[in-house]
Amino acid sequence: MTKNGLLLVNLGSPVSPSNKDVKAYLKEFLSDQNVVTLPKWFWQPILRGIILPTRTWRSATFYQHMWTKAGSPLTAYTEIMQQKVQHDLPDWDVQYAMNYGQPRIVDVLREMKDHGDSQIVVLPLFPNYTQSTHDTIIEKVHSTGIKTHIIKNFYDEPKYQQILAKQIDEAYPKKDYDAVIFSYHGIPMSMVKKGDPYKGECEATTAGVMKYLTKVPQSKVKTVFQSKFGPMPWLKPYLKNYLMELAAMGKRNVLLVTPSFVEDCLETIEENNVQNYQTFKASGGIVFDAVKPMNASNDFCHFLADISVKQLRGGQTNESGTHA
């Protein structure tokens, strides 16, 4: 009996927070030329000789701090999403895979095909498209030769924007915030200059969510970028710099929103709640609160199920099997 299939794809996580497993994960992730576009002959000696020896222990410390009984929060929430979406789509085969680490995209897709899944939707769990998150997923999907419908983004879906707006409206009245910061994961400016649509999609996300906000003054909203890596310029303004600017201007109470991250992960738990929190406090800030990611909420899982069904009703695969 044939059935429809849905493959939820997330970034991935180390198998454990040990130095060995974190190093293996970082090596795979940072060797991806869609993430670091420098030539291999130039980058690999730097990665193996400098980056991995110095970054592994620090990243492992962060993972150890945030690790739970269920493992990495990113993996744990992805598993819950898969289970809830499967409940919403009882006649579908809903699975998940990771771009880096286990379970692997190619392996899971082939298993789904072998189990009789006829039409398969691939849904990367990133609202905004960019080369560094999506292109490797698409390449791995195409390598299987299995025709799929790939949902490249969902930032402009009204339901997604409404869910995010509702979370912000619920959090905002709790304190007297001076600013509401929409912080997106950054990418190198070189990618933007080559035509990557990510910057525009992030700005459109903020604008779209603002249409549904009922309690937040638009004058308090600002779009920034975080998680810069390496010496080259990335999308600005940088979150850390903006936090210091706000504190210097006497704006000491901020509410942070992170639309790029649909579940808690290293960037929300360690980078924001520890490092950026400390930067803001040291600069004179007082209140640093964050709107929790969607974290497999019922509303978000219903939304994932709905857009997958809609994709098959209205989407057509092209020769490469990708729905634009």
pLDDT tens for residues 289-304? Answer: 999 999 999 999 999 9
Inside any domain, residue 100: yes
Inside any domain, residue 21: no
Token pair of 300, please?
Answer: 């978000």
> DSSP letters of 171-236?
HGGGS--SEEEEEEE--BHHHHHTT--HHHHHHHHHHHHHTT-SSS-GGGEEEEEE---SSS-BSS
Instruction: Work out the average pLDDT over 227-250.
Output: 96
Inside any domain, residue 92: yes
| CATH number of domain containing 252 | 3.40.50.1400
Inside any domain, residue 273: yes
Same domain, 191 and 262: yes
Looking at residue 1, what is its pLDDT? 65
Mean pLDDT, the chain, as a whole number? Answer: 95
- CB-based contacts of 75-84 (< 8 A; 24+ apart in sequence): 75/10, 75/13, 77/263, 77/264, 77/295, 77/296, 78/8, 78/10, 78/125, 78/263, 78/296, 80/296, 81/8, 81/125, 81/263, 81/296, 81/300, 81/301, 81/304, 82/8, 84/296, 84/298, 84/301
- Print the domain residue range for 189: 158-290
Same domain, 149 and 281: no
Does the pLDDT value for residue 320 go beyond 90?
Answer: no
Same domain, 172 and 277: yes
Same domain, 233 and 253: yes
- Which of 257, 258, 246 has its CA nearest to residue 285? 246
267 is known to lie in a ligand binding site: yes
Angstrom distances, CA of residue 128 to CA of 143, 207, 253, 261, 271: 23, 14, 28, 10, 20
Looking at residue 149, what is its pLDDT? 97
Same domain, 172 and 248: yes
Inside any domain, residue 322: no
Same domain, 150 and 162: no
Does the pLDDT value for residue 317 go beyond 70?
Answer: no
Same domain, 278 and 200: yes
Same domain, 12 and 120: yes
Token pair of 27, please?
Answer: 């090596």
Same domain, 223 and 146: no
Looking at residue 309, what is its pLDDT? 97
Same domain, 183 and 76: no
- Which of 58, 70, 66 has its CA nearest to residue 22? 58
pLDDT in tens, 41-83: 999 999 999 999 999 999 999 999 999 999 999 999 999 999 9
Q: Between 88 and 317, name the one with better pLDDT.
A: 88
Inside any domain, residue 52: no
Does the pLDDT value for residue 321 go beyond 60?
Answer: no
Model pTM score:
0.94
Does the pLDDT value for residue 167 go beyond 70?
Answer: yes
Looking at residue 231, what is its pLDDT? 87
Overall domain count for the chain? 2
Looking at residue 289, what is its pLDDT? 98
Inside any domain, residue 319: no
Inside any domain, residue 88: yes
Instruction: Work out the average pLDDT over 280-284.
Output: 97
170 is known to lie in a ligand binding site: no
Does the pLDDT value for residue 318 go beyond 50?
Answer: no
Looking at residue 324, what is its pLDDT? 40
Q: Between 129 and 317, name the one with better pLDDT.
A: 129
pLDDT in tens, 81-115: 999 999 999 999 999 999 999 999 999 999 999 99
Same domain, 164 and 263: yes
Same domain, 187 and 90: no
Residue found by looking up tokens 């525009």 in the block? 200
